[in-house]
Structure 1
Amino acid sequence: MVLTVTPKKSVTLIGAGTQGRRLAFMWSSRGNDVHLVDGQEAQLQASIKAIEEFRQSSSNVNASSGRIITHSPETLREALQVAWLVVEVSNSGIINDQKLTEKCVPEQIELKTKVISELDALAPRDTIIASNSSSYSCSEILKGLNLRNERRFLSAHSYWPPETPEIEIMGHETTNPSYITLMMEQCKAHGFSPFHVKSPSMGYIYNRIWAAIKREALLAASEGAATPEEIDNIFKGVLKTPKGPFEQMDVVGLDVVLDIEQHYADARGNIPSAPREYLQKFLDEGNLGVKSGRGFYDYGTS
């Protein structure tokens, strides 16, 4: 079966947070309208401002950008009527309609299965439903669910667009191969750099490698071999990266990092507990990273 996308159709995104507004910029960068749905009006307004800043700083300032149309969850169905692609970026509302649904909720399997079940019930049978989970595969999320059409599910994990446009596309055992092809084509057409993960892989490609790096960094700090700052400094000095592993974990959120690490431990069984115990001490003190003002580093109270 050959799948095509009708030109100039809208994309609907659920969740107007940090990732949602970045995806809105990407999916609107070729002239498509984006309907942005969120339960918080402040998030929607902040997203409009952020997207305009992305457009002003873009190297392709003359590009024909689509409109950004904001919605509360109450007008979700209206937002989806003209959408060929629906992306759930967070659990700020319930998704519904047309050609792609992508979810990026906190790394907890209970939330993911709940959202996927609701999407399957609400979305048309030919709508692609994708998970943006950074560690759980579709196979894990779909396990035990009674779905209308499991062949339309896949994983589509993005990073930090537009600066980091890489996105990993991974199917599960029964994903329709045509949907993988369509996703690869459309992601590339909208400025992403897509990679096809050709076999089931916990953490996709990059995050699988990154998980080992951050785990060893946490283990070294927990053993007193070096402080987080020292580990970051040698990491950046040798690899010439802008951020070290502890700085990156602070950006992600230490609660999310712990959830992901616990998932790896549950799945593999041979993961040392010291990194999780070390993280838990920070969580117990309310230090979650950048979003709380303090993690491994102090970011102030704002």
Structure 2
Amino acid sequence: MLRNKAVTLLGAGTQGARLAFMWSKLGRRVHLVDPNEKQLDSAYTRIETFRRGSDPSPHKWGEIRLLDSKELEKAASSSWMVVECVPEKLELKRKVVQGLNDVAPQETIIASNSSSYTITEIINGLELRNGSRFLSLHSYWPPETAAIEVMGTADTSPDVIALVMEQCKLHGFQPFHVQRTSTGYIYNRIWAAIKREALLTVAEGVASPAELDAIFKEVLKTPKGPCEQMDIVGLDVVLDIEEHYAAEREGLPQLPREFLKKMIAEGNLGVKSGSGFYSYDGK
């Protein structure tokens, strides 16, 4: 039944390209939709690079159709699932998901790839035609990191969850079912606690960023430490996520956010600004 249906991805950024690669593995079509033609071309180049570097597939690669946003309704009409991969701004995601609800057939699953907003938050107050088909489908860094988290709402059909879990596994993901609504899903809740304690440790003068990262890597044998990771993500993004957690949960310490605000005010955003916890010379 699904063989003749596509997956539509709305947003051709980093995650959109990586997800298009994964969902086209079994020879099925993928519609990659974005209003920016250059973004689409860049995404297609990345997809081709992933394909050349992957193990030979037992199936022919699925066709990737690059589409303008005006063609979204047509794309959704032939898809079994539509996934939004737009920037991490709640009102934008709400607007996009409402639009998907309005144009996608009632049986088409609608998913959000948001890392910090739950599907329950995104659809709250929207006028939906079929509330049982909505879920969060948060991936990390496929194909290198295969983990993907599947989280529904109180109204999501168990059959929808089961189908998405099955299809994710078939396409090379390692799916995890988040069984209750959870800001941060599973992994990001754990990672948020690590980031928060790392910020507290540095802000209190217990250790320098370099010392903290060094001991973290020595004990856990990871390639990067928390401060290095935060620099890569961007300290402004880290702050936005922390503010969201603080709004959702009482009692989180303020010092990590105050420390981030001070760094950001001084122009230290991480790798993208040339300095954060560390200085970067472009190498």
Aligned mate of 2:19, from 23, 43, 48:
23
The answer to whether structure 1 residue 242 and structure 2 residue 256 are counterparts is no
Matched position secondary structure for 2:146? strand
Give the CA deviation at 1:263.
Answer: 1.2
Distance 1:196 1:126, change over 3 A: same
Give the CA deviation at 1:110.
Answer: 2.9
Distance 1:211 1:234, change over 3 A: same
Match of 1:224? Answer: 205
Deviations 1:28-68 (A, max 9, x none): 11111222122222222221221111111112356421122
Match of 2:236? Answer: 255
Match of 1:278? Answer: 259
Aligned mate of 1:164, from 129, 145, 151:
145
Q: Cα RMSD (Å) of the superposition?
A: 2.0
Match of 2:49? Answer: 53
Distance 1:285 1:63, change over 3 A: farther
Give the CA deviation at 1:268.
Answer: 1.1
Match of 2:162? Answer: 181
Within 5 Å, which residues of 2 pair with 1:9-158? 9-60=5-56, 63-90=59-86, 105-106=87-88, 108-158=89-139
Match of 2:189? Answer: 208
C-alpha contact 1:36 1:44 (8 A) present in aligned 2: yes
Give the CA deviation at 1:275.
Answer: 0.9
Distance 1:149 1:82, change over 3 A: closer
Distance 1:298 1:41, change over 3 A: farther
Q: How many residues align?
A: 283
Distance 1:48 1:109, change over 3 A: closer
Which consecutive unaligned segments of at least 5 residues does structure 2 have?
A: none
The answer to whether structure 1 residue 290 and structure 2 residue 280 are counterparts is no
64-73 vs 116-125, greater mean Cα deviation: 116-125
C-alpha contact 1:202 1:208 (8 A) present in aligned 2: yes
Code of the residue aligned with 1:75 in structure 2: it is: E
Matched residues in 2 for 1:40 and 1:266: separation? 33
Which consecutive unaligned segments of at least 5 residues does structure 1 have?
A: 91-104
C-alpha contact 1:8 1:31 (8 A) present in aligned 2: no
Deviations 1:219-274 (A, max 9, x none): 11111222222211111111001111122222323222211111111111201111
C-alpha contact 2:80 2:109 (8 A) present in aligned 1: no
Distance 1:55 1:146, change over 3 A: same
Matched position secondary structure for 2:180? coil
Moved >4 Å (runs of 4+) = none
Percent of counterpart pairs with the same letter? 59
Distance 1:199 1:252, change over 3 A: same
Code of the residue aligned with 1:124 in structure 2: it is: P
Matched residues in 2 for 1:127 and 1:61: separation? 27
TM-score, normalized by length of structure 1?
0.86
Deviations 1:275-301 (A, max 9, x none): 111212233344433344443333446
Distance 1:212 1:186, change over 3 A: same
Give the CA deviation at 1:114.
Answer: 2.7
Give the CA deviation at 1:214.
Answer: 0.5
Give the CA deviation at 1:181.
Answer: 0.5
Matched residues in 2 for 1:251 and 1:53: separation? 22
Match of 1:199? Answer: 180
